[in-house]
């Protein structure tokens, strides 16, 4: 234990007395009062509703391959696979036991020090299990046994974990054809609200091989013709279905934040060409940009009509590692952020039409760049367009260093009291509380820095803290607790 003295200590990340004061006197009491509001997750709601105990720490923390609960924390696997003794193939081999996978992971875990994944996993062990040992080959078996016993207790069931960390509102990410049956069942979970998020990428990405079958699926479900007009009607029907069941946002993962002004005639031409296999376009084809731009205008109109927020995260190149994609599919750690994105020219027509601040009926847009070098562009856009907000760093960017730099940058160039708050992007509920503890500490670290060097008042720091931790989310998404 001598080796771990100071690691994740009481004041970790809180490097000024002002940061410590903000965290212990303001952040902790506020979080206890208002709980966690997370407007972007990939949590498996069926797993939460059915509330079965986790069989072991590997499945709870890293990879659950049971089909109905299938999810993985690709942050962990991706990093561990860079170390000798662990690999993607090992993690996903059904012939290897969960125990052996856990032993292999722990054997390389010391090499993950310095990355925030190492920090939040050990926070999970401390906060959820009371285990202070650091993961290694020597401690792997002990941690396995201790957590296995603990996970069978009632207080470690999925719903109990979420209640223990103070989860209040959790957004899920859902395909427009989802019947949202588990959201209805989740209404019986006392104290926590689960809201669906409309995620229509599968019906926009005409460069994907399964695009045509996706179009046919949603049009058949809604009894619409397989034409562009039919597709838009189908999406409107499903969007209304989501809104009636509490959805507060749509979410769009785009290579570039497409928003050009494209005529319906042009969009119909592109739809017809691809649907009838007269042409095939790739990720960066001009036709792809035009088609998705047209549909993004339709989505923003739908959101404005229903009072929903539009969230765009852009700059991700999906499945860059073809080996991973061919063997295990999407969302396994093979995505990267691009260095080449056209933001202003693409977005200006969309922002002018829907987010200019022209009237009170306009909704809100939150922009999340997958490459943080584009954060300044987002900040400039939020200054020029009142209803645009820069999004808190996530995915490739949610390390303490990048989050702190983003907060300090935003405070000086725009308003922290207007930006989007932190989002977990989580697949594993066991890490939800730890991720938000890191968020809270980083917010206090950055805001405390501004207080300590005289750039803001202490009361101003408290105001920023409350806005980032809670108030911005409630205001932008029109939430009620």
pLDDT digits (tens, 9 = 90+) for 451-467: 999 999 999 999 999 99
18: left (phi > 0), else alpha (psi -120 to 50), else beta?
alpha
pLDDT category, 2, cuts 50, 70, 90?
low
Neighbours of 151 (CB within 10 A): 20
pLDDT of residue 396: 81
Pairing mode, strands 365-369 and 388-390: parallel
309 forms bridges with which residues in the sheet? Answer: 249
pLDDT of residue 6: 87
pLDDT digits (tens, 9 = 90+) for 350-396: 999 999 999 988 999 999 999 999 999 999 999 999 999 999 999 88
pLDDT > 90? residue 29: yes
pLDDT of residue 4: 61
pLDDT category, 53, cuts 50, 70, 90?
very high
Stretch 6-24: mean pLDDT: 97
Stretch 118-147: mean pLDDT: 97
Q: How far is CA 437 from CA 129, 154, 470, in A?
A: 16, 24, 13
pLDDT digits (tens, 9 = 90+) for 403-455: 999 999 999 999 999 999 999 999 999 999 999 999 999 999 999 999 999 99
Q: How far is CA 53 from CA 59, 130, 158, 181, 301, in A?
A: 11, 18, 7, 21, 42
> What distance in Å separates the CA atoms of residue 419 and residue 39, rounded to the nearest whole number?
14
> What distance in Å separates the CA atoms of residue 158 and residue 60, rounded to the nearest whole number?
9
> What distance in Å separates the CA atoms of residue 475 and residue 418, rounded to the nearest whole number?
10
pLDDT digits (tens, 9 = 90+) for 224-281: 999 999 999 999 999 999 999 999 999 999 999 999 999 999 999 999 999 999 999 9
Q: What is the mean pLDDT of the chain?
A: 96
For residue 111, give the H/E element and its range: none
* Alpha helices per DSSP H over 307-343: 322-328
Q: How far is CA 312 from CA 71, 366, 467, 478, in A?
A: 23, 6, 21, 18
pLDDT > 90? residue 3: no
Length of the chain equals 481
For residue 141, give the H/E element and its range: helix 140-150
pLDDT > 60? residue 178: yes
pLDDT > 80? residue 165: yes
Stretch 109-130: mean pLDDT: 96
**3-class state of residue 62 by DSSP:** coil
- The pTM score is 0.96
pLDDT category, 5, cuts 50, 70, 90?
low
pLDDT of residue 1: 46
Long-range contact set of residues 124-132: C-beta below 8 Å, sequence gap at least 24: 124/61, 124/430, 124/431, 124/433, 124/434, 126/8, 127/433, 127/434, 127/437, 128/156, 128/161, 128/164, 128/430, 128/433, 132/1, 132/4
> What distance in Å separates the CA atoms of residue 273 and residue 212, rounded to the nearest whole number?
11
pLDDT of residue 331: 86
Stretch 105-134: mean pLDDT: 97
> What distance in Å separates the CA atoms of residue 57 and residue 59, rounded to the nearest whole number?
5
């Amino acid at each position: 234990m001598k080796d771990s003295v100071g690691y994740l200590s009481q004041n970790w990340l809180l490097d000024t007395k002002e940061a410590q004061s903000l965290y212990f006197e303001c952040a902790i009491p506020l979080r206890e009062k208002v709980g966690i509001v997370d407007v972007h997750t990939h949590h498996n709601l069926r797993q939460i509703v059915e509330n079965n105990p986790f069989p072991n720490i590997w499945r709870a923390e890293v990879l659950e391959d049971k089909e109905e609960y299938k999810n993985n924390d690709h942050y962990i696997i991706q990093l561990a696979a860079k170390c000798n003794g662990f690999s993607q193939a090992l993690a996903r081999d059904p012939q290897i036991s969960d125990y052996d996978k856990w032993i292999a992971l722990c054997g390389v875990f010391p090499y993950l020090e310095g990355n925030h994944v190492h920090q939040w996993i050990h926070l999970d062990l401390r906060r959820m299990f009371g285990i202070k040992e650091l993961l290694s080959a020597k401690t792997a078996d002990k941690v396995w046994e201790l957590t296995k016993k603990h996970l069978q207790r009632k207080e470690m069931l999925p719903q109990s974990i979420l209640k223990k960390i103070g989860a209040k509102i959790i957004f899920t990410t859902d395909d427009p054809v989802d019947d949202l049956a588990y959201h209805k069942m989740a209404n019986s979970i006392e104290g926590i609200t689960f809201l669906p998020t409309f995620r229509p990428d599968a019906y926009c990405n005409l460069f994907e091989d399964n695009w045509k079958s996706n179009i046919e699926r949603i049009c058949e479900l809604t009894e619409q013709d397989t034409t562009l007009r039919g597709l838009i009607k189908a999406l409107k029907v499903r969007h209304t279905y989501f809104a009636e069941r509490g959805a507060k946002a749509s979410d769009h993962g785009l290579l570039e934040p497409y928003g050009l002004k494209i005529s319906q005639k042009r969009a119909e031409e592109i739809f017809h060409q691809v649907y009838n296999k007269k042409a095939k376009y790739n990720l960066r084809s001009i036709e792809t940009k035009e088609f998705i731009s047209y549909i993004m205008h339709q989505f923003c109109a739908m959101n404005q009509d229903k009072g929903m927020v539009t969230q765009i995260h852009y700059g991700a190149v999906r499945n860059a590692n073809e080996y991973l994609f061919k063997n295990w599919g999407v969302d396994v750690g093979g995505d990267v952020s691009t260095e080449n994105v056209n933001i202003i020219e693409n977005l200006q027509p969309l922002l002018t039409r829907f987010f200019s601040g022209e009237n009170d009926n306009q909704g809100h847009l939150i922009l999340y760049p997958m490459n943080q070098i584009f954060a300044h562009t987002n900040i400039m856009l939020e200054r020029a367009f009142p209803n645009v907000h820069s999004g808190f760093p996530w995915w490739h960017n949610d390390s303490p260093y990048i989050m702190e730099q983003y907060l300090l940058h935003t405070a000086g160039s725009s308003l922290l009291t207007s930006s989007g708050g932190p989002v977990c992007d989580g697949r594993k509920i066991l890490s939800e509380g730890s991720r938000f503890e890191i968020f809270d500490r980083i917010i206090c670290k950055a805001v405390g820095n501004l207080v300590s060097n005289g750039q803001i008042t202490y009361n101003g720091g408290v105001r920023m803290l409350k806005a980032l931790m809670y108030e911005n989310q409630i205001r932008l998404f029109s939430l009620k607790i």
